[in-house]
Amino acid sequence: MKKVMTTIYGIKNCDTIKKCKKWLDANEITFTYHDYRSDGIDKEMVTTFVQQLGWENVVNKRGTTYRQLSDEQKASLNEEAAIELLLEMPAMIKRPVLIHNNEYHLGFKPAQYETLFNV
């Protein structure tokens, strides 16, 4: 049996996650799905995302969770503060985080995935 080399991370009620899962299924790409709310999240995971992708990219600044932060919180954001906030509020992590063959990718765009998976 072939080992699954693709994992997506997100929250199940996210429209982008739904589109991503639908695209992967339609293209018969086997993946595992990690839901921050039901499967959990820890500092090691968030730190790895930040190290691989950059904290400025991992923080979803277009979402309602980020917009609800105080101006002070937004102004004082740095890598350490971002990691703590993302642990506290996983909905603020840009979705999906996709790990494919140990490479980290962020977001979902069909053209990006076509290239990534050679579809």
Q: Which residues are catalytic?
A: 14
Cα dihedral angle (48, 49, 54, 56), rounded to 10 degrees?
Answer: -130
Partners of 99 in the β-ladder: 7, 104
Residue type, 76: S
Interatomic CA distance for residues 32 and 19, integer angstroms: 15
* Intra-chain end-to-end CA distance of the chain, in Å: 21
